[in-house]
Amino acid sequence: MTISEKSAYLKGLMDGLNLDTTTAEGKLIEAMVDLLGDVTKKLTDVEDTTIAISDELDEIEEDLDAIEDYILEEEDEYYDDEDEDDFDEDDDYDDEGFDWGDEETTVYEVECACGNIIDFDEETLEKGSIICDNCGETLEFVVEEDEE
């Protein structure tokens, strides 16, 4: 028996007993049965909303799975099409696999006292210092202009 059915059953019992609702006890029982009916309606609304939200979330999950599958297929096709013989490790990639691109970017390299080699660009050079990600030491450098 559902909670709605139980609430309706209690309401029916109260009506069937022909309680005198003018007495204090009758008023109390009638108020309690009415309150129980209101709570039952709210609970039913919450359950219905929860079911609707759950269904929507299931649909969203299916859509995301489809998108993920599509993206992974695209990546697989991209990597399958590349000729591995054409890949040169010295091409524009650093140790982390970052592609510096075809731009004419100057990449600088400095070795920290701890032995860590750090690559950085012109913008970092202009700042005048860099922090070693291995030991945390600040490496400072001075840029001197060539006089020609």
Q: What is the pTM of this model?
A: 0.41
Of 39-43, 63-67, 70-74, the one with minimum mean pLDDT is 70-74
CB-CB neighbours of 7 under 10 Å:
21
* Whether residue 46 has pLDDT greater than 70: yes
More confident residue, 60 or 94: 60
More confident residue, 76 or 72: 72
Q: Are 131 and 121 in contact (CB under 8 A)?
A: no
